[in-house]
Amino acid sequence: MKININKIKELRNITNISILQCKKALIAAKGNINQAIDYIRKYENIESIKKSKNKTKEGLIFSYITKDFGILLEINCQTDFVAKSQQIRNFGKNILKYIFKHNQTDISLIKEIFNQERIKLIGILKENICINRLGFLKGKFIGKYIHHSKRIGVIIKCDRDNDLLMKQISMHIAMLKPDYIHEKNIPIDIINHEYQLQKNIAMKKNNKSKIIIKKIIEGRVKKFINNITLYNQKFLLDNNKTVLHFLNENKIKVLEFIYLELGTNIIKN
């Protein structure tokens, strides 16, 4: 079977293996580039497959929102230099467009659908690329904030449409990193664990009465709760009021949020 030289060149650019190996793979795949890549992955020692084992600590957080749908996507690579490349940016944008167009939010399927493109990108950029995490919200009113570094992203769902307020609250979440919206969202075992921890500390360091020690423990647990709940935190843009106070003043509620930070493994809501 005669193979077009341009296809051989294209496959070589993707895989960085020899012309002879590329020709062999294309013959086996009857000229189909994607099938040739699969063949190489199975039978050849391809550089891009080797690189897929390398650790990825850099990357970008991508976002896409409409009034009723918000997406956060984390794509990782090995270096900050590659994270800033146009190829990575285009790759992320293409995935977001696909998710929105097809209403497909299953990260396993997204990884499968874009795997060939990811492998091609590894061959071009010479380092590992990973589609890491996907977070999404659906509802009437969605807002967002993406830090200028593209390392932190937040999307929120509210009960009213106000782009500025949603951006301000999203910015607050990005900076102060609450785990929950309000106290009732905190699992009881987390509160119990903190109470026991503070009790052990208080009992060890205080010779005060049980009533005073109890008040000390309750005060510290309350502080812990305030620190991890959005509504109880001091508002980033006005430390004289809590987030709840700010929201009540503006007659708006936060129903859900998702926070992604590059390199962490937590999706908060």
- pLDDT tops 80 at residue 108: yes
Percent of the chain past pLDDT 90, that is, above it, reads 56
Q: Are 233 and 227 in contact (CB under 8 A)?
A: yes
- pLDDT tops 90 at residue 46: no
- Predicted pLDDT of residue 39: 79
Percent of the chain past pLDDT 70, that is, above it, reads 90
Q: In what order do the strands lie in the sheet with 152-158?
A: 141-146, 152-158, 254-261
> For 128-150, what is each residue's pLDDT tens digit?
898 999 999 998 899 999 998 89
Distance CA 169, CA 240 (A): 16
Q: Are 142 and 155 in contact (CB under 8 A)?
A: yes
Burial annotation 238-248 (CB, 10 A radius, 16+ → b, else e): eeeebbbebbe
Mean pLDDT (whole number) for 156-184? 95
Going by pLDDT thresholds of 50, 70 and 90, the confidence category of residue 127 is confident
> For 201-256, what is each residue's pLDDT tens digit?
787 766 778 888 888 889 999 999 999 999 999 999 999 999 999 999 999 999 99
More confident residue, 108 or 21: 108
Strands 69-77 and 152-158, bridge-based pairing: unpaired
- Take residue 178 and report the two structure tokens written for it: 């609450």
